[in-house]
Structure 1
Amino acid sequence: MIPNVLAWNIRGLTLENRLAETRCVGPGFDEVRLAAAITVLLHHAHGSIYDAKADILFAFSGGFLHFGLLAVLVFFSISGFLVAPGLARSGKVIDYAVSRALRIFPALVVVVILTMILLGPILTTRSLPRYFSDSGLLLYAKNILTLTDDFLPGVQLPDGHPAIVNGALWTLHFEVLSYVALAVMSVVGILARPRLVLVVFLAAYIVYVANGIFPAFAERLPGRFVTFISLFVYFASGVVLSTFRRTIPYSAALAGSAFLVLLASLAYGAGIVAAPLCLPYLVVFAGLSNLPGRSFVRRDLSYGVYLIHAAVLCCLSIMYPGIHSWELVALMALIVTLFLSYASSLLVEQPALSTKKSVANWIGRALRRRPDLDPPMAGGAMQAITEHIALDEMASPVRSAGQGRGDWSREVTS
């Protein structure tokens, strides 16, 4: 029997057909997410010893892509594909905003606070009174709102330079913005019109490619916007795949072709043109396939790994400066990070997600009690709420307590 992941599209399956065939379960998404999170860890472990960009992919792609960025783009592609259908079908922006907020912020808040009150005091070169009275400590708390601040008072590398405590958190801000953009698309009716969804993607794609090909064009735009577009285009590509899932083939032949095109484009300096078109399809194809390791991945640890690993690596760099093997650093960090990620999933993420329906209902009742909010105004209020609280899943899609592995039927209504 040919494994599903290698099966050719002999029966003319579409992405929608594949979802139905697997009873609305994306059997490979957990493995893809965890692999992406571990890839980020390995990339940062390598960067703790050598230049972070000195990897094979960075050299092969002519400086366009390294493994850490590749993993981030995988997360954005998955998020767009899994999150969009439920919002498009229900139009319930409140439920959507609550689900996104509960997926991102509880674990983020815990990680940031524990880093400030436990890890910082252990690593700082200052006395505890000076550490806790330093204004830099409050600045680090901005990470709770996805407003990145990298440094804690007195936390230094062995060479005396300030240590970047958790450099991986920067992407969360742009994932939040991607979720907000999707909510706006729903409120104004774009998400319900497939052609308009395609127009949004094409607009982002054109700006993204123009930024890469014409540096003078990118220099005229705000730096944060340029970074946002460079990530949102992959999120939007995932949204397009979910929107047109009834017509897009689920095909190993197409996936193989996409891989070859992506590989050739990276080798010949055209990665910026091909990557947003090819990579999201490869990610979705893998997520809908039966991948090796399903029996091993029992719980989605990817978000915890992403949130925690950089702080663990920072701690190892400061406490064990004599280690010069990035492989050993990576192994030590992986063991500690997986343990802490499991605790985060069990004690923080899963309990928080189990409250999403009750929280959404409470917010809905509160809005309905406002006599000054007619339906259009309520929609505007919800947009404001979304802008304030919405960002997976890293990287990653919502997984409620007790939910099956990559359960599409629950994802799309979350």
Structure 2
Amino acid sequence: MQRDTTFAEEVPAPELSPSTHARSDRSNYFDALRLGLALPVMYSHAHALSGDPEPQAWSRTLGHVAVHGFVAISGCLVASSFRRSRSAGDFAVRRALRILPELVVAMIVATYAGRAFEGYLQNPAPSITNGPVWTLTWAVLAHAVLALLGIAGVLRPGALPAFVAACWVAFLTTLGTYDPFALAIAPMLLVFAGDALLSVHQELIRRGVIAVALGGGWH
């Protein structure tokens, strides 16, 4: 009978392996990339919350582009986190410890800043002290759906592509509508799902890149 490998087994590892060091290096790169994306989000939202036009990039607002970059990184990292977790509960704890401490600190700072500036009453959107927080609702939903997919066995190379393809077909049927969900939320969820797919297939992609590089060397 084939053994279920959805969750990693708990194996003592007194010494860090080369793969662990590689994951740590990748985590540092991702952290630097996320910091680089956070700055344009803050800059763009500062314009919106003060009533000024947001800076543009590729026919989209700078904040829009940067937020999608965040979502793309999250899809890859969260899928990898689930596949390394021992159980769904372990995954939930990992996600909570990753998000909640930083969120609590950010909200405390934002609350005191709002009081210092009298609730930003002169802004077009008064009393909003932390504009990007609205995305957290959808981030938590994406995390929960990903966990359910993993529990159901869909977060595997043989099943996830079909699920992502079905999501794209459903999204394409909404083109031409002006539904807020289809315009703002669905694209973010599709980006998240797409990068989760890349995470699941990362070994296959790595081999493909190597094969293309080696093949190109023969020309």
**Which bin holds the TM-score, normalised by the shorter protein?**
0.7 to 0.9
Q: Which residue of 2 aligns with 1:171?
A: 135
TM-score by length of 2: 0.72
Contact persistence 2:85–2:91 (CA under 8 A) = no
2:188 pairs with one of 225, 231, 236:
231
Greater CA drift, 39-48 or 175-184: 39-48
The structural deviation recorded for 1:194 is 1.6
1:123 pairs with one of 112, 117, 123:
117
1:157 pairs with one of 122, 140, 148:
122
- Secondary structure class of the residue paired with 1:169: helix
Q: Which runs of 5+ in 1 are unaligned?
A: 1-18, 125-151, 255-414
The structural deviation recorded for 1:227 is 4.0
Q: Does 1:201 align with 2:196?
A: no
Instruction: Provide the rounded CA distance (Å) in 1 between the counterparts of 2:161 and 2:70.
Output: 20
Q: Does 1:36 align with 2:37?
A: yes
- Secondary structure class of the residue paired with 1:195: coil
Larger radius of gyration: 1
Instruction: Provide the rounded CA distance (Å) in 1 between the counterparts of 2:125 and 2:29.
Output: 41
Instruction: Provide the rounded CA distance (Å) in 2 between the counterparts of 1:97 and 1:156.
Output: 38
Residues 111, 209 of structure 1: alpha-carbon distance in 2 compared, 3 angstrom cutoff: same
Q: Does 1:23 align with 2:22?
A: yes
Amino acid at match of 2:137: H
- Secondary structure class of the residue paired with 2:158: helix
- Secondary structure class of the residue paired with 1:165: coil
Residues 190, 72 of structure 1: alpha-carbon distance in 2 compared, 3 angstrom cutoff: same
Contact persistence 1:91–1:186 (CA under 8 A) = no
The structural deviation recorded for 1:208 is 3.0
Q: Deviations over 1:103-151 (max 9, x none)?
A: 21222223324443x3343222xxxxxxxxxxxxxxxxxxxxxxxxxxx
Q: Which residue of 2 aligns with 1:136?
A: none
Q: Deviations over 1:275-318 (max 9, x none)?
A: xxxxxxxxxxxxxxxxxxxxxxxxxxxxxxxxxxxxxxxxxxxx
Q: Which residue of 2 aligns with 1:76?
A: 71
The structural deviation recorded for 1:46 is 4.4
Taking CA–CA contacts closer than 8 Å with sequence separation of 6 or more, which of the two structures ends up with the larger relative contact order? 1
TM-score by length of 1: 0.41
Contact persistence 1:80–1:238 (CA under 8 A) = yes
Residues 84, 251 of structure 1: alpha-carbon distance in 2 compared, 3 angstrom cutoff: same
The structural deviation recorded for 1:78 is 1.0
**Following superposition of structure 1 onto structure 2, how do residues 11-410 of structure 1 map, counting pairs within 5 Å?**
23-24=22-23, 25-26=25-26, 28-47=29-48, 48=50, 50-52=52-54, 54-55=55-56, 57=57, 60-61=58-59, 65-90=60-85, 92-116=87-111, 118-124=112-118, 155-157=120-122, 162-191=126-155, 193-211=156-174, 213-215=175-177, 219=179, 223-224=180-181, 227-249=184-206, 251=209
Residues 90, 100 of structure 1: alpha-carbon distance in 2 compared, 3 angstrom cutoff: closer
The structural deviation recorded for 1:163 is 4.8
Instruction: Provide the rounded CA distance (Å) in 2 between the counterparts of 1:178 and 1:106.
Output: 19
Q: Deviations over 1:38-85 (max 9, x none)?
A: 121222344447312x52x2xx43xxx322111111111111112213
Contact persistence 2:114–2:127 (CA under 8 A) = no
Amino acid at match of 2:169: I
Q: Deviations over 1:346-381 (max 9, x none)?
A: xxxxxxxxxxxxxxxxxxxxxxxxxxxxxxxxxxxx
Amino acid at match of 1:207: A
Amino acid at match of 1:112: M
- Secondary structure class of the residue paired with 1:106: helix
